[in-house]
Amino acid sequence: MKSITIGQIIDATGGSLTSGDLGIIVSGVTTDSRKVVPGDLFIALIGENHDGHDYIDIAMEQGCAAVMVSRPVPRLVAPASQLSVACVQVPDTLKGLQDLARDYIARFSLKKIAVTGSTGKTTTKEMLYAIFSEKYKTVRNIGNFNNHIGLPLTIMTVDEEHEAGIFEMGMSGLGEIDLMAHILKPDVGVITNIGLSHVEKLGTQENILKAKLEIANYFTDNGLLIVNGDDDFLRGIANNELDFDVITVGCTSGCDARILAVKDFGEEGIRFDLEVQEKVESFTLRMPGRHNAYNAALAVTTGLVYDIDMATAARGLSKMAPPDKRLCVRQAGPLKVIDDTYNASPDSMKAAIDVLASAAGGRRVAILADMLELGDFEENYHLEIGSYAAAKKIDLLIAVGEKAKNIYLGARDMMPEGHALHFDDRDSLLGNIGGILRAGDVVLVKGSRGMAMDQVVKRLSEENLEL
């Protein structure tokens, strides 16, 4: 982070100084008192379970330079000469963080790329980071810092050395991406697809499209949107009258960047060609799933906008491994585990089943848990996943959870007796898992984040698991 003064923070947030001095320097921003280091601004956010104001003493003990609060803190109301810790009071500390980030990022001539989509946005973000890092000093969101708190905190890590920033934007409802786009004001937006994630809250995929398109609401001059041209909902937006240009990426004839000749090597990864303006380049990914050709092609096309040639992009992509909990293949004793536990939707479930079906090894076992936030059609979506897994000749399907019972029902009549199982919850499965699996099995584990299926992966990886 580039150092800023308390005076600059007050100008950005409209706050008032209750202690300290306007000239105090801040060299970092955090909302976690456990991570405070000397020189930090500690922002006391108020959440559902914790109030940051309760941790101000800890932050001060660890050497913070300043705190941001939304209510008076008696020990931080004093003449400037008596306290070295600055205290900035604002009406709302969350808005204060967002206002500060909006002011801060505007100080840089950074190449700003924003990424969203129903599935694949984190993988695409990491691909963009790998590509841009070949040419530019690049910053990106770490982990799941992709919401109205994580994005501003990521922005506050930008430094003068950075030339490009890759910013993932997640959402669950209308207006959330608009808020983040207003803070960042991206130059380029990337939308991976319009799927069914969060359809329970938004009602229709048309509304999901509307929410995702908020990424373009605050484009800077010459703003550009890069989209999956094979997606039913994104395909047509290039024909609309918009204030910005649209580049389409896909396999379909007419896309500006065309994906050609995808070769699937199962768990070893994929290879594909990309044609842009009659130039063709081959790309090799060390991550499974044909769908990753779309993610990679979107990232490569974005790189071209910033003069990163396809050969350079290919070099960056060749170094990548899958992001954590996203189709990560690992050996766990006598089992091969495909960890795809980060989240789940119908589209990503099918993609993961495809990877399992092409994996080398013994029995192919799918442990699939509830898909959440699917609204009125959740029963049909779960049934469809069950029948899809059975059609892909999965050897054993284990459904986990109340909603996932329909995965079991969708597969049961299409599979040999006893090859489709259902457990009411994760703990019931864990109590029986050793007696179900065999040495040599290839095991896919997947479910929505709320199902915490990473605990199943953890159990499968334990040395004391007896099969």
Q: What is the pLDDT of residues 304-314, one digit of tens each?
A: 999 999 999 99
Domain membership of residue 465 (yes or no) is no
Q: Does residue 204 share a domain with residue 261?
A: yes
Domain membership of residue 191 (yes or no) is yes
Average pLDDT over residues 322-329: 92
The answer to whether residue 430 scores a pLDDT higher than 50 is yes
**What would the DSSP string read from start to end of 328-389?**
EEEEETTEEEEEE-S---HHHHHHHHHHHHT--SS-EEEEEEPPPS-GGGHHHHHHHHHHHH
Q: Does residue 155 share a domain with residue 264?
A: yes
Q: Does residue 312 share a domain with residue 333?
A: no
Domain membership of residue 98 (yes or no) is no
Average pLDDT over residues 271-275: 98
Residues in the chain: 467
CATH number at residue 187: 3.40.1190.10
Q: What are the CA-CA distances from residue 188 to residues 194, 229, 375 (Å)?
A: 18, 16, 32
Q: Does residue 176 share a domain with residue 211?
A: yes
Domain membership of residue 102 (yes or no) is no
State the Cα–Cα distance between residues 285 and 292, nearest whole angstrom.
8
Q: What are the CA-CA distances from residue 210 to residues 55, 200, 217, 237 (Å)?
A: 39, 15, 11, 11
The answer to whether residue 84 scores a pLDDT higher than 90 is no
Domain membership of residue 443 (yes or no) is yes
Of 406, 405, 459, 409, the closest CA to residue 430 belongs to 459
Q: Does residue 209 share a domain with residue 62?
A: no
Domain membership of residue 341 (yes or no) is yes
Q: Could you report the per-residue pLDDT of 181-229, keeping only the tens digit for each?
A: 999 999 999 999 998 888 888 989 999 999 999 999 999 888 999 999 9
Query: Could you say which of 279, 298, 318 is where a domain stops?
Result: 318
- How high is the mean pLDDT of the chain? 95
**pLDDT tier at 82 (50, 70, 90 boundaries)?**
low
Tell me if residue 408 falls in helix, strand or coil.
Answer: helix
Q: Does residue 232 share a domain with residue 194?
A: yes
CATH number at residue 68: 3.40.1390.10
Q: Does residue 343 share a domain with residue 312?
A: no
The answer to whether residue 381 scores a pLDDT higher than 70 is yes
Query: Could you say which of 69, 93, 117 is where a domain stops?
Result: 93
CATH number at residue 419: 3.90.190.20
Domain membership of residue 103 (yes or no) is no
Q: Does residue 192 share a domain with residue 66?
A: no
The tally of domains found in the chain comes to 3
The answer to whether residue 241 scores a pLDDT higher than 80 is no
Which pLDDT does position 80 carry in this prediction?
45
Its domain, for residue 47, covers 4-93
Q: Could you report the per-residue pLDDT of 48-69, keeping only the tens digit for each?
A: 899 999 999 999 999 999 999 9
Q: What are the CA-CA distances from residue 365 to residues 370, 392, 395, 447 (Å)?
A: 17, 12, 6, 14
Q: Does residue 411 share a domain with residue 383?
A: yes
pTM of the model: 0.92
The sign of the torsion formed by the CA atoms of 385, 387, 390, 396 equals: positive
Q: What does DSSP assign to residue 75?
A: G
> Please, which residues bridge with residue 337 across strands?
330, 443
Q: Does residue 193 share a domain with residue 60?
A: no
Of 241, 243, 314, 304, the closest CA to residue 276 belongs to 304
Query: Could you say which of 290, 318, 346 is where a domain stops?
Result: 318
Which pLDDT does position 426 carry in this prediction?
97
Domain membership of residue 69 (yes or no) is yes
Average pLDDT over residues 133-153: 95
In the numeric block, the tokens 């840089």 are attached to: 108
Q: Does residue 359 share a domain with residue 253?
A: no
Which pLDDT does position 81 carry in this prediction?
43
Which pLDDT does position 79 carry in this prediction?
58
Average pLDDT over residues 35-41: 97
Q: Does residue 298 share a domain with residue 190?
A: yes
